[in-house]
Copies of this chain bind each other. A is one copy, B any other.
Amino acid sequence: MEVGILGSGDVGKRLAGGFATRGHEVILGTRTPGNPELAKWAAGVKGKITVGSFADAARQGQLLVLAIRGEAALAALDAAGKAHFSGKVLIDVTNPLDFSKGMPPSLFMGTNDSLAERVQHAVPSAKVVKAFNTVGNVQMVDPHVKGQGRLELMIAGNDAEAKKQVTEVAKSFGWSGTLDVGGIDAARWLEALVPLWVRLGATLKTYSHIFAVARD
């Protein structure tokens, strides 16, 4: 499968590596396709990663990933060309983090909206699935916690088939499975987990912690 990833920061690169090492062909879309550091990084990953523009990634990818910082997420869709998203599954990893008052962050979104819903609204014929936003990039692929058997990724989205596909991706990345919390509006609460995740990181002095849902 060809996977188009928008965003070449830590999250974009981590997920690109996950897909590439699982045998998918990755087009990593970036604002700076000529960046020699990125080319060097891509050459070092096992598997096929091509660096291109946002438009290259969105056009070529059959499965798309939005891994852009919150404030820039909607502009990246414009830059990529919204028509390229039509009918495709779009994994939305963004978070509307507000660092305007420093650390720890808040959200630039209230509780009646989410960045995921704005993304879905911007590309209405895409099948947006919120996923991977509640976990640090170091744990997105091959997640591991000592003594924790079950690691589940929380996801939300309107399209059941798209959520199934994302569940398969998560499993291929080493997750036990996913926890489907509802339609794309439920992403409000997945995004609101992230300021809590950051605060817990400060308390626990780690950023490899993962939210789990304990039950019998």
Contact = CB atoms under 8 A, between A and B. Distances in A.
Contact of A212 (B110, B149, B203, B213): B213
A74 interface: no
A216 B204 CA distance: 11
Interface stretch (A4-12, A35-43, A44-52, A184-192): A184-192
A125 B208 CA distance: 37
A106 interface: yes
A61 to B, nearest CB: 29
A182 interface: yes
B212 A182 contact: no
B148 A214 contact: yes
A38 B46 CA distance: 66
Given A107-B111, A200-B181, A206 B215 contact: yes
Contacts of A202: 182
B145 A214 contact: yes
Contact of A211 (B104, B182, B214): B214
Contacts of A169: none
Contacts of A106: 111-112, 188
